[in-house]
Chains A and B, each alone.
Chain A
Amino acid sequence: MHAEDRNNVAHPDRHTKAGWQLWQDKNCQSCHQLYGLGGYMGPDLTNVYSEKGPKYMETFIKYGTGKMPNFHLNDSETQGLVSFLAWIDKSGKTKIPASAVHWWGISK
């Protein structure tokens, strides 16, 4: 399987890796899913970068909401998380279009 070739997604750079490590350290997957894997307190974030944009994401990450705690992240950490989610967004779409689903399975 060479998914990264299929979508021409580059390997994660240093900034993306830092964001990924932060995602793990803060246990973001307890509340959010990526490709459906994770908790259900918050939304699936696989394609939040293309659907909502970086400014929207930065606001949530920096300030939290009633449900999401404020993790008091600095600008570099916030940008790292945005970079990580942008990298995931490039890997593909988590929503399968209805036209791809058939009684016999799933087409491309």
Chain B
Amino acid sequence: MNEYPVYYKRFLQFALGLLATALMLGLLSATAFIFPETFNEFLPFYQLRPFHTSAALFWIITASAACIILYKNEVFSDVSKHNTSEKLFMVLWIGSILAVFCCYAFKKFGGREYWEFPPVLSIVLLISWLVFMYSYFSAWRKSINRKPLYVWMWSTGIFFFLITFMEQNLWLIPWFRSSFLKEITIQWKANGSMVGAWNQMIYGTALFLMVKISDDATIAQNKKAFFFYFLGLTNLMFNWGHHLYNVPNGSWIRNTSYVISMTELLIFINIIAGFKNKLNEQKRLKHIIPYRFLVAAEYWAFANLLLALLMSIPVVNRYTHGTHITVAHAMISTIGINTMILLASIGYILDVDAKNLKVKKFINKAYWHTQFGLGAFGLSLVIAGIIKAYRTAVFESITFQEVMQPVMVVIKIFLFAGVWLAISLLSIVVCYFRLLNSRETKSGMENISTVIIIEEYDFK
């Protein structure tokens, strides 16, 4: 890490700061949800929620970009480590995110779901992403090392993020606003595909880490890996329709998406089939902290995939749409999968396995609290969703407030679980933040196998 300019570290710290912001504002938002009368006067829910959702989205995208910037310099053998365009991207990106938060602080809205800020700021975000693309694809073009799958995935994710970001702003063109069905279809489509785009970046990073940790380059070159890449790409482009089962547009859109969604069963079956080999691999590599975060992500991916497959069945979706089951799916994705992989990656960059025993014990303890906290968190949301779905279906004539009364009891449990989860994750964030400030001379980009001292620690 010390061979890179200070601003790389600051960019990573900024990303971690966004995660911390998302966690703290998530707690505040949940509290405002339960006690709206108290919060409405000074910090209403409609102001807190966009802070939380934007901080979470920007954490994921910023951290993904930060990791790709560092890794691509190694993969593409890019000698220009002090790349001007990278610095320009970071400055523009950070500046526009801070401007977004300023708008929220002064209740200046005007955008759409997840992008509630005034749309003029989208121009700056777009320009900064184009600068990032220039930086990445310039190095990619000059490189002869383009074959590994993680390069394909990074490139796909970076490109499709541009596409989906522009789709999310199509509403600015009057023709797209002339019909609300047109508008809402594109909003749902763009939001769904954007998740697919950042997943490509993050899963590419996970694959890169596995290659480095296991010292096996064939993981990123075999046919099976490429098959699942193309399956993921197909879902990115065509899976979004399962968000639209309740929108009265053409049935072909919904039914095509139903079929595409069900192809994820192949991923589900593949995880089950590879479970025994995975257990052997875990025994071999469990002492490596970044690897443990990757394993956590895989378990959460399995659980979330089960939930997503059920939700994508129209008969089930009819009841789950608009309930906290959707929120559970979103949270488990962003925290259990995306955040775990990104923390694995930052841990690898920081070379946490070479730190002293106290640091490693601390991270391990926070890691386990995070998993159990997230389990309670996700489960409470699913239960809240089931109660809401049941009461909405069975008691058709009661008011929304009457539907929500028993749900609010579960939401209070959700808040406690959220506190547990937030404290655990914030512990890791603070630890990583401080490690980025430390002056140790060991480079975080060395292959794990070349580190001189790795203290064996039994992580039971």
Contact = CB atoms under 8 A, between A and B. Distances in A.
A94 to B, nearest CB: 5
Nearest to B39: A69
A91 B179 contact: yes
Given A26-B109, A29-B113, A30-B49, A106 B314 contact: yes
- Interface of B: prevailing SS: helix
A60 to B, nearest CB: 11
B116 A27 contact: yes
B184 A105 contact: no
A28 B109 CA distance: 10
Interface string A45-75: 0000000000000000000001111000000
Interface in A67-99: 67-69, 87-88, 91-96, 98
- Interface of A: prevailing SS: loop
A55 B308 CA distance: 39
B228 interface: no
Nearest to B393: A98
B50 A67 contact: no
Interface in B217-233: none
B46, B251, B254: which has the most chain A beta carbons within 10 Å?
B46
Interface stretch (B80-88, B296-304, B316-324, B422-430): B316-324
Contact of A42 (B185, B188, B251, B400): B400
A1 B322 contact: no
Given A37-B184, A101-B318, A107 B110 contact: no
Contact of A4 (B109, B178, B244, B245): B178
B181 A92 contact: yes
A42 B49 CA distance: 13
A105 B258 contact: yes
A38 to B, nearest CB: 6
Contacts of A20: 177
B442 interface: no
Nearest to B109: A27
B45 interface: yes
Given A43-B400, A96-B245, A101-B315, A35 B178 contact: no
A69 B250 CA distance: 37
Given A92-B181, A106-B314, A30 B50 contact: yes
A102 B314 CA distance: 7
A25 B184 contact: no
Contacts of B40: 67, 69
Contact of A12 (B177, B248, B314, B321): B177
A105 B324 CA distance: 23
A1 B250 contact: yes
Contacts of A107: 251
Contacts of A95: 246
B347 to A, nearest CB: 33
Contacts of B110: 21, 24-25
A38 B113 contact: yes
A32 B245 CA distance: 18
A103 B454 CA distance: 54
Contacts of A3: 179, 181-182, 248-249
Interface in B243-280: 243-251, 253-255, 258
Contacts of A68: 36
A106 B316 CA distance: 12
B132 interface: no
Interface string B85-117: 000000000000000000000010111110010
Given A34-B184, A35-B247, A36-B247, 5 more contacts: A9-B180, A26-B109, A33-B322, A40-B327, A94-B247
Interface of B: 33, 36-37, 40, 44-47, 49-50, 107, 109-113, 116, 177-182, 184-185, 187-188, 191, 243-251, 253-255, 258, 314-315, 318, 321-324, 326-327, 400
Interface of A: 1, 3-4, 6-7, 9, 11-12, 20-21, 24-31, 33-44, 66-69, 87-88, 91-96, 98, 101-108
